[in-house]
Amino acid sequence: MEYNNPAFDRADTAGCYEQETDMAKVSATSSPPSHREARGLAPPSRNNPTPADGDLGKVSLAEAGTDAAAEGGEERETWSKKIDFLLSVIGFAVDLGNVWRFPYICHRNGGGAFLVPYFIMVIFGGIPLCYMEMSLGQYHRLGPLKIWSKICPLFKGMGYAMILVGMYTSFYYNTIIAWAVFYFFSSFTSELPWTSCNNTWNTDNCTQFGVDTWRNNSVSAATEFLVRNVYEYQNSNGLSELGYIRWQIALCLALVFVIVYFSLWKGIHMSGKVVWVTATLPYVLLLILMVRGVMLPGAKRGILYFLTPKWETLARPSVWWDAAAQVFFSLGPGFGVLITLSSYNRFHNNTCRDAVATSLMNCLASLLSGFVIFSVLGYISVTQDREIETIAVGGPGLLFEVYAEAIASMDGATGWALIFFFMLINLGVDSTFGGLETVITSLSDEYPRVLRRHRELFVLGLMIVCYTGALVTTTNGGVLVVHLMDTFAANTSITIVVLLEVTIVCWIYGTDRLSCEMREMMGTKPALPWRICWTFICPIILAITIVLGLVYYESPVYGDYVYPGWAVGVGWGITGSSLVCIPLYAMYKFIITPGTLQQRARLLLFMEDSEEAQTTEIAENGRASPVEFNKGLVALPNSNV
């Protein structure tokens, strides 16, 4: 029989191939063994009894009925219930950015008109990428580092890039949660501390909401509470002199990491239960806050401003770039979280439904947040006789200044403040779970005998490292570090990582092969539109997003503070430090791999199993595995490649 090695169709699952070979004979009464069964990564199916010795090699733990980890000989966890996985993914996707970023960029880019490019990006970019990553993680049951040994070993540096981005994000994102914790505890008073202007941190420009007349040099009491009491920004002198650590914020940050530790230390069975609260409660609280917001005077004005389309804005390329960035950064492809969480799924789980459900819930949260925020902006606009354009700000200020100011003027302000900041804490902690679980799973898969067996100590050490790295953001000028990291830690690097990921998976690993693996898991191959999105549309959208991001790049500023050139250089260094892992590892792997240049290139680009595993397979069984033989990458003994 003739074996082909087509450049595009590298599908090697038995669901797509049914070949008779002298290397593996299958009885007429049984169906061919699946690709995962042949490799020992899945239990034999009902129609495929355990192969005898000499037919398909040694029987693994998986073939004995255990869904084992690929390395280390230990069982890999699976979610107790399907809903645990779904809530974990939704909890990661729906984060603080849905509350502060989406409403702001929506109003900045044409109001209701922005929803057109937003939903186009969700349909043709967000959902397909989520579907692809979930399927890869579920099929290979590995984290985003080890999985590249099965997809394309030359690009295993992609996994290291994802780990670094996850670490960088934990250094500043958890500080924002710590601010919410500080506000939450500060709200246990009869009068919220950012209500009046008679506090020690207030200045002569302080203006009390609903009491004082707004002037050109006015500063709201809520803004002064955040800047002069929470940050104590007045005690810093920019990045060159950050000031001292705010011990109150450092304690709140420690509390955040303690919560994260005890949610992750025992694995997904613990975090899968925590998300029943942290992933669902924000929707309940958003609905409550929305109902309260639409009852405020002026709410209609704010909501109309939010939804009224300005169609002329669709001609601006920056609007489409903002839509793509919002979708990709919110749903989270490229961060490795979707691969990680889905790697604990059962093999026949339907990842298509999960991807669609996650994306829809993410969109719902963004729209709810828009109503919550803009109903309050309309209220402030009417009360202070100000235009909404002068009120709406992006970033954390929208939550800790604008919304906090409006809450302080409501009846029952203490209760509304507690609800709002508790919601922010839940939104933030959920995303932290996913990001750090990616780091934990990736390194545990790579070093199972050391890290997986001592998970509690490993997670504790990781929390200490992340907390230490985040301490700089708790200084008086820490907000400048937070803004710098938020600008450079993930935005550009993740977009490039996702572009490389979808390109490698579709054009090297093979769209057809991916489709056949999905068929093996779910019974049917993905429809043609999915494959078109993965192969063509998603790479084009991502490439355009990267180009537009560079074209419309603006140096970061915080208020009146302009970041110096050296700080911008450090920021780009942070971006590059994660991306450089990809070429560095590729060069390292290419150098240490034996063989001719052509052999090394073919092995590292297309090989799925390690060289050692191939050598052992050939030596013990006198044959190459069906996977590698179909690819034409491994020859039988005493033959040439």
Predicted confidence at residue 386, as pLDDT, reads 81
* pLDDT tens column, 454-486: 999 999 999 999 999 999 999 999 999 999 999
The answer to whether 562 is a known ligand-binding residue is no
Nearest to 209 by CA among 272, 286, 296: 296
The full length of the chain comes to 641
The reported pLDDT for the residue numbered 74 is 60
Per-residue pLDDT at 56: 30
Check whether 91 is labelled as a binding-site residue.
yes
CA distances from 244 to 94, 171, 177, 231, 348 (A): 33, 17, 20, 10, 53
Q: Decide: residue 592, CB within 10 A, 0-12 exposed, 13-18 middle, 19+ buried.
A: exposed
Cα–Cα distance for residue pair 271/264, rounded to 1 Å: 6
CA-to-CA separations, 614 to 111, 231, 622, 629, in angstroms, rounded: 57, 58, 11, 11
Give bridge partners of residue 245 from the DSSP assignment.
475
98 is in an annotated binding site: yes
Strands 557-558 and 206-207: unpaired
- The per-residue pLDDT for 16 is 59
Residue 75 has a CB neighbour count (10 Å cut-off) of: 12
68: which strand partners? 75
**Helix axes 491-504 and 565-579, enclosed angle (nearest 10):** 20
* Bridge-based pairing state of the strands 557-558 and 561-562: antiparallel
- The per-residue pLDDT for range 412-431, each reduced to its tens digit, is 999 999 999 999 999 999 99
3-state class (DSSP) for residue 562: strand
Tell me if residue 85 falls in helix, strand or coil. Answer: helix
Distance CA 29, CA 360 (A): 44
pLDDT at 481: 96
Q: ∠ CA(480), CA(486), CA(490), 5° rounding?
A: 150
- 525-562: b or e for each residue (b if 16 or more CB lie within 10 Å)? bbeeebbebbbebbbebbeebbebbeeeeeebebeebe
- Please name the residue ranges forming H helices in 453-523: 455-470, 478-488, 491-504, 511-522
The pLDDT assigned to 269 comes to 86
Q: Is 330 flagged in the annotation as binding? A: yes
Look at the block and give the residue holding tokens 């070979």: 21
pLDDT of residue 484: 95
Largest CA distance in the chain: 90
Residue type, 525: K
Say if residue 430 carries a ligand binding annotation. Answer: yes
Whether the CA torsion 224, 470, 334, 365 is positive or negative: it is negative
State residue 632's pLDDT score.
Answer: 42
366 marked as binding residue: no
pLDDT of residue 617: 39
Residues of the chain with pLDDT under 70: 1-74, 210, 212, 392, 607-641
Q: In angstroms, rounded to a whole number, what is the distance separating the alpha carbons of residues 500 and 633?
A: 23
Angle ∠(514,519,522) on CA atoms, nearest 5 = 120
Query: Degrees (nearest 5) of the Cα angle 134, 46, 617?
Result: 70
Q: Tokens 């699946």 appear where?
A: 34
